[in-house]
Amino acid sequence: MANIKNIAIIAHVDHGKTTLVDKIMYHCQLFRENENTGDLILDNNDLERERGITITSKNVSVVYKDTKINIIDTPGHADFGGEVERVLNMADGVVLLVDAFEGPMPQTRFVLQKAIDLGLKPCVVINKVDKENCTPDEVHEKVFDLMFELGAEEWQLDFPTVYGSAKNNWMSDDWRNETNNIEPLLDMVVEHVPTPVFKEGTTQMLITSLDFSSFTGRIAIGRVQRGNIVEGQQISLVKRDGTVTKSRIKEVFIFEGLGRKKVQSVQTGDICAVVGVEGFEIGDTICDLENPEGLKAIAIDEPTMSMLFTINDSPFFGKDGKFVTSRHIKDRLERELEKNLALRLGETGSADKFMVFGRGVLHLSVLIETMRREGYELQIGQPQVIIKEIDGVKCEPIEELTIDLP
Ligand SMILES: Nc1nc2c(ncn2[C@@H]2O[C@H](COP(=O)(O)OP(=O)(O)OP(=O)(O)O)[C@@H](O)[C@H]2O)c(=O)[nH]1
Ligand SMILES: [Mg+2]
């Protein structure tokens, strides 16, 4: 089997994940010399471009010194933490980026906690050392303290580190010693991230993401955990609740560069996209036809905010969008639930009103803006914090705010 490394890039918002992935893709020559692909290639939908943030995680794959590296770029904003959590299931190691000036931030802690709990090997990148007055050595120490505090095991605490500037396209073992490429980072990944071991046995693949194509329909994405997946294979689908349905795989694809390549079969450890499975959801397992053994379903963090979505009953009804009825809105919201796992839909007792629960205002506003652009017209209420009773005490979600002032 070819050498494979599966890594997820995790960090707090804006610490430079997507910029780093750009540089990796350029270094591994995914593009022709004369091809101008611009910056933040993976932030490819309109909302991501406009806001300059990553909203959904994405897979790319590069080849470096005979090793295939599957890279998952993740969103840094806390509202999309649910997304990060589940894609980490596909990785064997994480590249944790920390800003050399800001140091570890709340979301660094959150995503690192998930990675440590899943037993992934951390590799640390202290990024943005080009910033004035940054303190890479102190930041390195803080990352160590943070890992210790989060209960990392010894082999995790023994993490390798590189320093550099993703923006200026260099990484190095020492931040004072600027290089002219990012090879030290890739070498670190190749050396320290474990290669998936081939597991004999029947097929098992946890569906961690989904994609849609107007030609082939819904596409299941995940990592083959055991055995292999073959084109045309008959399979059982074990749902999150344990029920089993039968289905057949039409086609399998592996990730190659920015796109996908059709293959006959995929072995344990590689990340693949599967076409043809019927009625699947994220969190289901694709298993052997005769001996279906489901994998542990993915746990998702609970929503913290709710918002009331209603049809537009104002005098301006119908001026803006083309999908205006409660039926339209309901269908759209239900479709969103399929891929937006941290989202919930609640009953309101009225057919025109929908209570939508999300991870935060940004999470909900991205949904609203996406719906608006798709031509939906709706009215929304104020965001409400979800209050929960834990052991008889009323509790509300809290958020920490740090303000640095001169
Ligand atoms: N000075 C400096 N700026 C950087 C460096 N790397 C990235 N940036 C800038 O930081 C900003 C955020 O970069 P992104 O790559 O979008 O960060 P991200 O971590 O993907 O952000 P989210 O996906 O939204 O969490 C951009 O304006 C980059 O140009 C660096 O090494 N030095
Ligand atoms: Mg990004």
pLDDT at 404: 72
Length of the chain: 406
3 state DSSP class of 2? coil
Instruction: Tell whether ligand 1 has an atom less than 6 A from the beta carbon of residue 56.
Output: no
Same domain for 139 and 278?
no
DSSP 101: T
Report the distance separating Cα 375 and Cα 321, nearest Å.
Answer: 5
Torsion of CA 378, 209, 361, 367, to 10 degrees: -20
Same domain for 99 and 214?
no
Ion ligand 2: residues, CB < 5 A: 17-18, 54
User: 150: which residues sit within 8 A by CB, 6+ positions away?
Assistant: 109, 112, 113, 116
Strand residue runs (E) in 227-375: 228-230, 234-238, 244-248, 251-256, 259-263, 265-267, 271-275, 285-288, 305-310, 344-346, 353-358
Q: Are 95 and 9 in contact (CB under 8 A)?
A: yes
Q: Are 224 and 269 in contact (CB under 8 A)?
A: yes
Range of the domain at 244: 204-288
Which amino acid is present at 403? I
Task: Give the distance (Å) from ligand 1 centre to CA of residue 300.
Answer: 27
Tokens, residue 81:
């933490």
Task: Return the residue matching tokens 């269908």.
Answer: 331
CATH code for the domain of 313 = 3.30.70.870
Strand partners of residue 346: 355
Instruction: Tell whether ligand 1 has an atom less than 6 A from the beta carbon of residue 129.
Output: no
Of 258, 273, 297, residue with least CA distance to 219? 273
Is 40 inside any structural domain?
yes
Instruction: Tell whether ligand 1 has an atom less than 6 A from the beta carbon of residue 57.
Output: no
Q: For the purposes of burial, counting CB atoms within 10 Å of the CB of 73, is it exposed (0-12), middle (13-18) or buried (19 or more)? A: buried
Last residue of a domain, one of 233, 258, 288: 288
Same domain for 174 and 210?
no
Q: Are 59 and 255 in contact (CB under 8 A)?
A: yes
Instruction: Tell whether ligand 1 has an atom less than 6 A from the beta carbon of residue 30.
Output: no
CATH code for the domain of 19 = 3.40.50.300
User: Which phi and psi angles does 226 have, rounded to 5°?
Assistant: -155, 145
Query: Could you tell me how far CA 80 lies from the centroid of its own chain?
Result: 8
Same domain for 118 and 266?
no
Instruction: Tell whether ligand 1 has an atom less than 6 A from the beta carbon of residue 98.
Output: no
Same domain for 168 and 242?
no
For 170-226, what is each residue's pLDDT tens digit?
Answer: 999 998 999 999 999 999 999 999 998 887 888 999 999 888 877 888 899 999 999
Task: Give the distance (Å) from ligand 2 centre to CA of residue 76.
Answer: 7
Atom number in ligand 1 closest to CA 20: 15
Instruction: Tell whether ligand 1 has an atom less than 6 A from the beta carbon of residue 76.
Output: yes
- Residue ranges in the chain modelled with pLDDT below 70: 1-2, 32-36
pTM of the model: 0.86
Tokens, residue 4:
């494979």
CATH code for the domain of 234 = 2.40.30.10
Same domain for 77 and 111?
yes
Is 226 inside any structural domain?
yes
Residue nearest to atom 24 of ligand 1 (CA): 53
Atom number in ligand 1 closest to CA 164: 31
Sequential DSSP letters for 107-170: HHHHHHHHHHHTTPEEEEEEE-TTSTT--HHHHHHHHHHHHHHTT--HHHHS--EEEEETTTTE
CA distances from 260 to 150, 169, 232, 242 (A): 36, 26, 18, 31
Residue nearest to atom 28 of ligand 1 (CA): 16
Is 404 inside any structural domain?
no
Same domain for 214 and 254?
yes
Count of structural domains within the chain: 3
pLDDT at 72: 94
pLDDT at 224: 93
Instruction: Tell whether ligand 1 has an atom less than 6 A from the beta carbon of residue 105.
Output: no
Same domain for 241 and 153?
no
Same domain for 154 and 59?
yes
Same domain for 279 and 385?
no
Strand partners of residue 207: 222
pLDDT at 5: 93
Report the distance separating Cα 103 and Cα 65, nearest Å.
Answer: 32
Last residue of a domain, one of 192, 212, 243: 192
Is 298 inside any structural domain?
no
Q: Where are the alpha helices (DSSP H) in 165-289?
A: 183-192
Task: Give the distance (Å) from ligand 1 centre to CA of residue 195.
Answer: 28
Report the distance separating Cα 2 and Cα 261, nearest Å.
Answer: 16
Is 367 inside any structural domain?
yes
Q: Are 380 and 311 in contact (CB under 8 A)?
A: no
Last residue of a domain, one of 154, 172, 192: 192
Looking from the CA of 64 toward its CB, the CA atoms found within 13 Å total 25
User: Which phi and psi angles does 124 have, rounded to 5°?
Assistant: -105, 135
Report the distance separating Cα 116 and Cα 111, nearest Å.
Answer: 9
Is 188 inside any structural domain?
yes
User: 125: which residues sit within 8 A by CB, 6+ positions away?
Assistant: 20, 95, 96, 97, 98, 161, 162, 163, 164, 166, 171, 185
Is 405 inside any structural domain?
no
Same domain for 128 and 75?
yes
Q: How many helices (H) and strands (E) does the chain have?
A: 9, 24
Is 90 inside any structural domain?
yes
Same domain for 117 and 9?
yes
Instruction: Tell whether ligand 1 has an atom less than 6 A from the beta carbon of residue 13.
Output: yes
Looking from the CA of 238 toward its CB, the CA atoms found within 13 Å total 18
Atom number in ligand 1 closest to CA 13: 25
Instruction: Tell whether ligand 1 has an atom less than 6 A from the beta carbon of residue 120.
Output: no
Q: Work out the end-to-end distance of the chain between its first and last CA atoms, rounded to an integer number of angstroms.
A: 55
